[in-house]
Amino acid sequence: MSKFASIVIISVFGLSACTPAPQQMESREHETAVSQPEIVSETTAEVEVPAEETNIDSVAYLDYNEINYSEYEGKKAHALFFHANWCPTCIGMEKDIKANLSSFPAGTNIIEVDYDTEEALKAEHNINSQSIIVVIDEEGNTVDTLVAPNNSSLIKAIQTSLQ
């Protein structure tokens, strides 16, 4: 029993030696705070660009909102990407599209639509699954509906919508 008590006492003292005293902790936290510069970053994905500032000769990947949609609907060629944040296919498609935007033709406008919240838009385009892209010409006619397309299929459909 005394051997057991000795082991417990040694363990307790050994563990307490690993934890710095409160004054030491404050001192270290202060040193870290002083030595580490504060880094402030801006996220541009959340910034809304008013539709009138959008350059139609460039390539755009936009989040869906009423301003973006009303600016394009029946006026400019665009693609609606019905995207779900929980869908691995959608996540991969988004990453691939954004990484290769420079390979899309000038005038490409892709609007990412939240599959889980935009019920009226899904009904309007008869969408019953995520990872679908609907390509629409400038008159508002559906050129193509693509299910999980690769970039070359998407580019071909977009080129058709821009003609």
Q: What are the beta bridge partners of residue 75?
A: none
Whether residues 28 and 49 share a domain: the answer is: no
pLDDT in tens, 13-60: 444 444 334 444 444 444 444 434 343 333 333 333 333 333 445 788
The total number of structural domains that make up the chain: 2
Q: What is the pTM of this model?
A: 0.63
Whether residues 55 and 125 share a domain: the answer is: yes
Containing structural domain, residue 74: 44-162
Q: Transcribe 72-96 into DSSP letters.
A: HTTTS-EEEEEE-TT-HHHHHHHHH
The answer to whether 147 and 131 are in contact (CB under 8 A) is: yes
Query: Which of the two residues, 42 and 80, has the higher pLDDT score?
Result: 80
Whether residues 102 and 122 share a domain: the answer is: yes
Whether residues 6 and 52 share a domain: the answer is: no
